[in-house]
Chain A
Amino acid sequence: MNGKTAAVKWFWYASPQTFYPLAGTIARWCAPAAAVLAVIGLYIGFFVAPTDAQQGEAYRIIFIHVPAAWMSMFLYVVMAFWAAMGLAFNTRLSGMMASALAPTGALFTFIALWTGALWGRPTWGTYWVWDARLTSELILLFLYFGFMALKASIDDPRRADRAGAVLAIVGVVNVPIIYYSVQWWNTLHQGASVSLTRAPSMATTMLTGMLVMALAFWLYSIAAAMVRVRCIIVERESWA
């Protein structure tokens, strides 16, 4: 297959009508895989990983807090990517994909904030503090809400896609701010425990549990977005 036909094939999938069955297949594989991985991850998190020397059992919030926080940022970047694709190529599916990701992204942002608050109370002595990490993550939640509200307020879906895309792309600057906030500012929130450049500063079983849960959240997010994009395709397109 040469480059030209490969490109044609990709654009073939960019049509909502042809993507619809593929989205269903992806969701059917990812949803059960997410459930199985979540059970394994929780088992490791509660029965295999040892009690933390400093935090006792309170640290077990990590198995949902960190994966949820990762997903909150990652889903926003993917959403902004599809928004940008929609502006650049004017493909209908791109705006639908961005819309399909937003509610799940907002969900994980809220979970990251909620579990963070319940973790902060026993370890820091407070549910909330206006430090750079927590504040920028809260702004991320408002960006998701703003994106959804803006799209919902415009009747013409194609105009709504374009307006939402501009908001999503402008808001993406917040993601590196969240990620590097613990380095750029003196925050109460701790620095990264896991990074690509050095060995993780935690026990192997703790890390394994966290990574399995992260994978479960990934697959769940893909499944949720695929089911939602199918709904949006049917709601918007007249062929359905």
Chain B
Amino acid sequence: MKEFLAMGGYGFFVWGSYAVTFALIALEVVLLARRHKRASGKGS
């Protein structure tokens, strides 16, 4: 596990890439869900 996280010494670069990608996509999903909820609330 520790070895996996270390990524052969490149852990900062590999996980830094994946963490930011995941965080930004998650942020877009949350923002879209909120906007969609607001929009469909307006419809009813």
Chain B residues within an 8 Å CB radius of A220: 25
- Interface size (A, Cβ < 8 Å)? 30
From A146-154, A188-196, A230-238, the one touching the partner chain is: A230-238
Given contact pairs A107-B24, A111-B24, A227-B32, A56 touches B9 in the complex (Cβ within 8 A): yes
Shortest B16–chain A CB gap in Å is 5
Tally of A-B residue pairs with Cβ under 8 A? 75
Chain B residues within an 8 Å CB radius of A115: 17, 20-21
Given contact pairs A57-B8, A103-B28, A230 touches B14 in the complex (Cβ within 8 A): no
A residues near B (Cβ < 8 Å) are: 46, 51, 56-58, 60-61, 64-65, 68, 103-104, 107, 110-111, 114-115, 118-119, 121-122, 220, 224, 227-228, 230-231, 234-235, 240
Q: How far is the CA of A227 from the CA of B33 in the complex (A)?
A: 8
Q: Are A122 and B13 in contact (CB under 8 A)?
A: yes
Proximity bits, B1-41, A CB within 8 Å = 1, else 0 = 00010011110111011101100110011001101101110
Q: How far is the CA of A64 from the CA of B9 in the complex (A)?
A: 19
Shortest B1–chain A CB gap in Å is 13
Q: Are A58 and B36 in contact (CB under 8 A)?
A: no
B residues near A (Cβ < 8 Å) are: 4, 7-10, 12-14, 16-18, 20-21, 24-25, 28-29, 32-33, 35-36, 38-40, 42-43
Nearest residue (CB) in B for A217 is B25
Q: Are A235 and B39 in contact (CB under 8 A)?
A: yes
Chain B residues within an 8 Å CB radius of A235: 39, 42
Q: How far is the CA of A122 from the CA of B39 in the complex (A)?
A: 45
Q: How far is the CA of A153 from the CA of B7 in the complex (A)?
A: 45
Q: Are B17 and A119 in contact (CB under 8 A)?
A: yes
Q: Are A111 and B21 in contact (CB under 8 A)?
A: yes
Q: Are B35 and A64 in contact (CB under 8 A)?
A: no
Nearest residue (CB) in A for B4 is A46
Given contact pairs A234-B40, A240-B43, A114 touches B17 in the complex (Cβ within 8 A): yes
